[in-house]
Amino acid sequence: MKEIKYKTAQKAPAQFDAWSFRRIAPFIEDDAELVFIVYQPDGQEFRRITHKSPYPGGDVKSDFCLGFPDDSAPDPRIFQNEHIRVKIYVTKGEMKYPVFAKYRPPFFAFYKKGKDGEINWIEPFEAIAAVEDN
């Protein structure tokens, strides 16, 4: 497949400080790049990440929080009580997923800050399934 689109199976929680999108990395051609785009609720591009397929067949976690990866990062809380939509595509060839990927479907995880003011990235307080968004 050349591209795939996902969205949250239900709206994101009303309150959170950060979120992640978890998935299996596809196998892609050596000279291809994988592009991951998150869309704002109004359909505008929120963030774009382009890279080689990290650890093909391995777990990938894309994190979104205010100030990460730098101070120019947009505030991910705009997705509170909204669906989150993402698109993943490859610049050349096809994405190929390992057979076991169907047993580890992608999902969105949501996090809150702890009493120390830091985000607890280990334990999401809620997870929502990712469904294909045609």
pLDDT per residue as tens digits for the range 33-58: 999 999 999 999 999 988 876 678 88
Domain extent, residue 89, equals 3-132
Given pLDDT bands bounded at 50, 70 and 90, which one contains residue 134? confident
Give yes or no for a contact between 108 and 38, defined as CB atoms under 8 angstroms apart: no
Number of domains the chain is built from: 1
Q: Once rounded to an integer, what is the mean pLDDT over residues 9-21?
A: 95
Percent of the chain residues topping a pLDDT of 90: 69
How far apart are the two ends of the chain, measured CA to CA in Å?
Answer: 14
Comparing C-alpha atoms, which of 131, 41, 44, 26 is closest to residue 89? Answer: 26
Look up the pTM and report it: 0.90
Give pLDDT, residue 7. 97
List b or e across 5-40, with b for residues whose CB sees 16 or more CB atoms inside 10 angstroms: bbbbeeebbeebbbbbbbbbbbebeeeeebebbbbe
pLDDT per residue as tens digits for the range 103-132: 999 999 999 999 999 998 989 999 999 999
Give pLDDT, residue 69. 62
pLDDT score of 73 more than 90: no
The single-letter DSSP state of residue 13 is: P
Q: Once rounded to an integer, what is the mean pLDDT over residues 84-107?
A: 93
Given pLDDT bands bounded at 50, 70 and 90, which one contains residue 10? very high
CATH label of the domain that carries residue 57: 2.60.120
Give pLDDT, residue 53. 64
